[in-house]
Amino acid sequence: MAPFLRKVKTASGATAVQIADKSDGAYRILEHLGSAHTDAELAALMSVGQEKLHPDQGVLPLDTGPPAATGERVAKSSRAGLLVDALTSVYRRLGFADALQDEAFFQLVLARLVEATSTSDSVRVLEELGVDAYHRNTLTNALARAHEHHYRSRIASLCFTHSVATTGVSLCLYDVTTLYFEAEHEDELRRVGYSKERRVDPQIVVGLLVDRSGFPLEIACYEGNKAETHTILPVIQQFQARHGISDMVIVGDAGMLSVENLKAIDAAGLRFIVGSRLTKAPIDLATHFRWNGDYAEDGHTVDTLTPRGVKKLDPQRTDRRAEPVWTPAEYPDAWRAVWQYRRKRALRDEQTLNLQRNRALEVIEGVKSQKNARFVKTTGAKKTFDEARYDQAMKMSGWKGYVSNIEADIMPALEVVGSYHELWHVEQSFRMSKTDLRARPIFHRKRDSIEAHLTMVFAALAVTRFMQQTTGASLKKIVTTLRPLREFIGVLGGHEIAFPPAVPADAANLIAELEQATRADPSW
């Protein structure tokens, strides 16, 4: 079938004009010409499309008189319409527009998606996009409404609905980050606390619960000096109370879940899978090493026990070749531990250990000075290389452990490993950090303002994850691809007309994928 012009209504209310063909009952988009918001713009796009379809079709010169004056030719404005329409359609598709009925709040989310900046500077971002931006005071009032009218609860409910309809919430990942403030004095929320970067600025702790695809489900903030391990239970309990959930599996890093947290999560009837510390491997794998030595096949898995607290495991368990099968009734002082050996991981671990060995030798020989170098044993003023610790570390290379309270007859060992990594591959594309959250609220001072800001970021993160899941492209890629494609509004011969941008193939593919995803009827 020959190419033809196709008009499609977008979720934002505009009319997209495309050059398409149809084969075997399916449409194929050849070129996206632009989106029209008025009849004049639609006519202009259709005219451009006809010219592209029939470039050699001339016009019969019936008027033999002198050429008419062309009139005024002025470019009045431009708009990054393709980007704005794409972000708007996703925001509407998730149900945020209907639930909140707050255009000013949406403008804040829109600006945040394009460029992380202050509320007042959001006006500049919106105007550069060609959006008729609200006044700075109106945007500030929108943040106040977001907190007063509990926008976060509505957004969280819609995120939950979306997740249930797509990936499900049976497995959830919890992570935290710290957001710093360039302020001299602390207050009840902004406190100096533990910092991996060893900063002494006031900070807050932000916890985020996401589903297996990284889609956000719950967000909360805490005092800057609150231990990360003390934040997870309130977030999970809030999530359960909001949605009436009693059965779910929480996956997290070992550093996130303390011994007491694991007991509390287990007591609440929840299930968990957490990464184990490598220092526990010699005890957990004692039976394996006794009967099998140091050798392990690539992918070999050991399903055994690990102590819950200070109480040690039965030392005589290694007399039996078979590993004990964990059940809460039979082993109330232990958790289930699954360990897996990977050759690729072993090579990486051994490379790291050899670098640490070389550094330790340089410290011992006085070539370098380092306070706490690994494998350096100090006796009085004498420094020696700790061969025993080094050999033990090499023995453990390649092993990775997972602690759980899920019985083996419910979830086999390989499924425990797979569930953990199924969620933690999200870390590669989504990591709770200042850069990825794009939410460093240094411009806010009061708790209500900070909470409102995080609500706005929560909505922006949901839009981001939807777009990434739909297109496979990052938000940065989507913005940098679509933002330069601008529609120009001008006056030609006394008529206002829109000139659409030329759309490259990669941009057309992004637009088509988003249009299909946002046009589809939600299953919920």
- Domains of the chain by residue range: 4-55+68-80+484-519, 100-246+425-473, 344-396
pLDDT over 50 at 308, yes or no = yes
Structural tokens at position 343: 């050759």
Residue 441, pLDDT above cutoff 50? no
Indicate the range of 12-16, 318-322, 372-376 predicted with least confidence: 12-16
Q: Are strands 271-275 and 249-252 parallel, antiparallel or unpaired?
A: parallel
Instruction: Classify residue 378 as exposed, middle or buried by CB count within 10 Å of its CB (0-12, 13-18, 19+).
Output: exposed
Closest CA to 112 of 161, 162, 146: 146
pLDDT for 74: 66
Residue 212 has pLDDT above 50, yes or no: yes
For CA atoms 31, 36, 42, 45, the dihedral sign is negative
Question: Is 42 or 321 the better-scoring residue by pLDDT?
Answer: 321
Q: Which of 264-278, 364-378, 392-406, 436-450 has the highest mean pLDDT?
A: 392-406
CA distance 125 to 314: 64
Confidence of residue 18 (pLDDT cuts 50, 70, 90): confident
- Helix, strand, coil shares of the chain, percent, nearest 5, are 45, 20, 35
Indicate if the pLDDT at residue 182 is higher than 60. no
The whole-angstrom distance between residue 392's C-alpha and the CA centroid of its chain comes to: 37
> pLDDT tens digit string along 55-67?
765 555 555 444 4
Q: Which residue has the higher pLDDT, 7 or 184?
A: 7
pLDDT of residue 181: 62
Closest among 444, 434, 440 to 144, alpha carbons compared: 444
pLDDT of residue 436: 46
> 156 near 209, Cβ under 8 Å?
no
Query: Based on the number of CB atoms within 10 Å of its own CB, is 166 exposed (0-12), middle (13-18) or buried (19 or more)?
Result: middle
Q: Is the pLDDT of residue 466 over 60?
A: yes
CA pseudo-torsion sign 98, 102, 105, 110: positive
pLDDT of residue 116: 82
Beta strands in 369-462 (DSSP E): 376-379, 382-385, 399-404
Query: For strand 487-492 and strand 399-404, is the pairing parallel, antiparallel, or unpaired?
Result: unpaired
Summarize the confidence of residues 210-231 as an average pLDDT: 81
Ranges 182-196, 270-284, 342-356, most confident: 342-356
Instruction: Enter the pTM of the model.
Output: 0.74
* Contact in structure between 489 and 76 (CB atoms under 8 Å): yes
User: Per-residue pLDDT averaged across 240-247, rounded?
Assistant: 86
Facing residues of 494 across strands?
A: none
Instruction: Give the pLDDT mean for 343-366.
Output: 94
Give the Å distances, CA to CA, from 265 to 306, 320, 415. 17, 32, 20
Please state the rounded mean pLDDT for residues 229-242.
Answer: 84
pLDDT of residue 45: 75
pLDDT averaged over the chain?
83
- The confidence score (pLDDT) of residue 165 equals 92
Q: What percent of the chain stands above pLDDT 70?
A: 82
User: What pLDDT was estimated at residue 96?
Assistant: 97
What confidence tens digit (pLDDT) does each residue in 86-112 have? Answer: 999 999 999 999 999 999 999 999 999
Q: Which of 263, 266, 307 is nearest to 284 (CA)?
A: 307
Identify the pLDDT of residue 355. 95
pLDDT the model gives residue 228: 66
Of 59-68, 113-122, 205-214, 414-423, the one with minimum mean pLDDT is: 59-68
Q: According to the model, what pLDDT value does residue 69 have?
A: 44
Angle at 205 between CA 200 and CA 211, to 5 degrees: 145
The pLDDT, as a whole number, for residue 467 is: 94
Lowest mean pLDDT among 20-29, 247-256, 386-395: 20-29
221: β partners = 206
% pLDDT > 90, the chain? 45
Mean pLDDT of 369-376: 85
Tell me what the mean pLDDT of segment 3-31 comes to.
Answer: 77
Return the sign of the alpha-carbon dihedral for residues 77, 83, 87, 88. Answer: positive
